[in-house]
Structure 1
Amino acid sequence: MNTERKPNNRGNLQNKSKEKSKLRRITATSSRWLHIYLSMISFAVLLFFAVTGLTLNHPDWFADQQSTNEIKGNLNVNWVNNIDTSKISKLEIVEHLRNKEKIKGALSEFRITEYECSVSFKGPGYSADAYISREDGVYSITEIKSGFVAVLNDLHKGRDSGKNWAVLIDISAIMMTLVSLSGLILILFIKKKRTNGLLIAVVGAILCYIIYKLFVP
């Protein structure tokens, strides 16, 4: 008499079904949690980039906010008239302009020619260019302040805003990508809305492409 038991195929199928159902439940729960909390964390960032996207597209709305200041002065001639240009006191010159003339922004360029030194400072919505005579230390500065909205626009683009702000932009981009992907995963678990939701997403992508092909030079 053969007492060997046959494999319980029904039991194996049930176990696989339970494991699959559990994985789906964990995926749905994790995606929902990620979507909700990342959406709340990135709300301010998303709002900032949305609003500044509009202001970037219409710079003429805020053109009258720009102001230009002309500043003149003189500094220690010994800092600039050394024949050996490697011994020109760059640090002292920059600190003098910052402390006395209240120049802002990060130092972007320091050029030395036979007759003058030119120093440029850049920041979000801000620029200052100083020209210093190597003969007598007399300088002139053109300072341009473009206004609060221009500051926001430059922060949006990451222009002249430093490495730390660039890191924040990268983190924001990653967060918004995760929000989008988690939302897409969630729609896959909603049977009644899954087809329509994916269809609308595809239609939106196609419309963007059509607008690009037809209207972008």
Structure 2
Amino acid sequence: MSSASTPENAPTRPLRRPRTLKNRSYAVARWLHVYSSMVSLLIVLFFAATGVLLNHPEWTFGSAETRSTLRGTLPADWQAGNAVDWLKVVSALQKSGLKGTAGDFRADAGGDTLSFRAPGYSADVTIDPAKGSYAASVDSQGWVAALGDLHRGRDSGKAWSAALDLAGYFLVLLSLTGLAMLLYLKKLRLSGLLTLAGGAAVVGLLMNLALK
């Protein structure tokens, strides 16, 4: 017998059975659920914590609202003829210390106005057309209010709005893949679905009470 031949009593590897469609789909659902849950972990923590803060506006944690007035003079070229060059006005005001997204532009004989908005922050600006001077009433509500506005997506800009959409997609994916995994578990399927139905009934009842 050749030394390269296999001994008769040598163990043989069992043939791997091809994975069924059920097994493959379960593996995909589990993979998506695991990694979407890792991505969504901080998202869930953020919205859970800020949701509690929104539900208790009396909790300030030392973050107090402050109001102040900022005064100054715009650059000489803040007007283009008889029209207001809003880009230059906004740039000058941001350099003076105002922040957020500018909007609500209005120009008339009684005075030119605009506003700046950011989470937990607002500034209303009035410009004297004759002198080119401005007065900004600034309201800073603190970091608790800022977190609340971020939770609601208020005055937070396009980038944060896109982040909120992405967070929503991840949470939907997390929920659907979790439900898909449950459907594959025979021992837990019925109890899990009954728990889901009970939770949905409780949430629906609470929503109905809140809307009355």
The TM-score with structure 2 as length reference comes to 0.84
1:147 is matched with: 142
Q: How does 1:46-61 map to 2 (within 5 A)?
A: 46-61=44-59
Q: For the structure 1 residues 187 and 72, does the alpha-carbon distance in structure 2 shift closer, same or farther, using more than 3 Å as the test? A: same
- Of 89, 95, 106, the residue aligned with 2:91 is 95
Cα deviation for residue 64 of structure 1 reads 5.3
Aligned mates of 2:76, 2:205 — CA distance in 1: 62
Q: How does 1:56-67 map to 2 (within 5 A)?
A: 56-62=54-60, 65-67=64-66
Runs of 4+ deviating beyond 6 Å:
none
Aligned mates of 2:77, 2:46 — CA distance in 1: 47
Question: How many residues end up aligned between the 2 structures?
Answer: 195
CA contact (8 A) 1:77 1:136 kept: no
Q: How does 1:1-217 map to 2 (within 5 A)?
A: 22-62=20-60, 65-76=64-75, 79=78, 84=82, 87-99=83-95, 101-217=96-212
Q: Structure 1 counterpart of 2:172, which letter?
A: T
Aligned mates of 1:214, 1:124 — CA distance in 2: 30
1:7 is matched with: none
Cα deviation for residue 212 of structure 1 reads 2.1
Cα deviation for residue 31 of structure 1 reads 0.8
SS at match of 1:119: strand
Cα deviation for residue 80 of structure 1 reads 5.1
Cα deviation for residue 158 of structure 1 reads 1.2
Q: Structure 1 counterpart of 2:68, which letter?
A: N
Cα deviation for residue 179 of structure 1 reads 0.5
Cα deviation for residue 204 of structure 1 reads 0.6
The TM-score with structure 1 as length reference comes to 0.82
- 1:66-122: per-residue Cα shift (whole Å, max 9, x none)? 11111222234663595x3xx3232222222111x2110011221111121112011
- 1:149-183: per-residue Cα shift (whole Å, max 9, x none)? 22211111111111121111111101110110111
Cα deviation for residue 134 of structure 1 reads 1.1
Q: Structure 2 counterpart of 1:69, which letter?
A: S
Show structure 1 runs of 5+ residues with no match.
1-17
- 1:13-55: per-residue Cα shift (whole Å, max 9, x none)? xxxxx99x71110111111111111101111111111111111
SS at match of 1:59: coil
- 1:112-142: per-residue Cα shift (whole Å, max 9, x none)? 1112111201111111111111122232111
Cα deviation for residue 205 of structure 1 reads 0.4
Aligned mates of 2:94, 2:173 — CA distance in 1: 42
Show structure 2 runs of 5+ residues with no match.
1-16
Q: Structure 1 counterpart of 2:199, which letter?
A: G
Q: Structure 1 counterpart of 2:185, which letter?
A: I
Q: Structure 1 counterpart of 2:195, which letter?
A: I
Aligned mates of 2:39, 2:156 — CA distance in 1: 22
Q: For the structure 1 residues 139 and 110, does the alpha-carbon distance in structure 2 shift closer, same or farther, using more than 3 Å as the test? A: same
Aligned mates of 1:91, 1:186 — CA distance in 2: 53
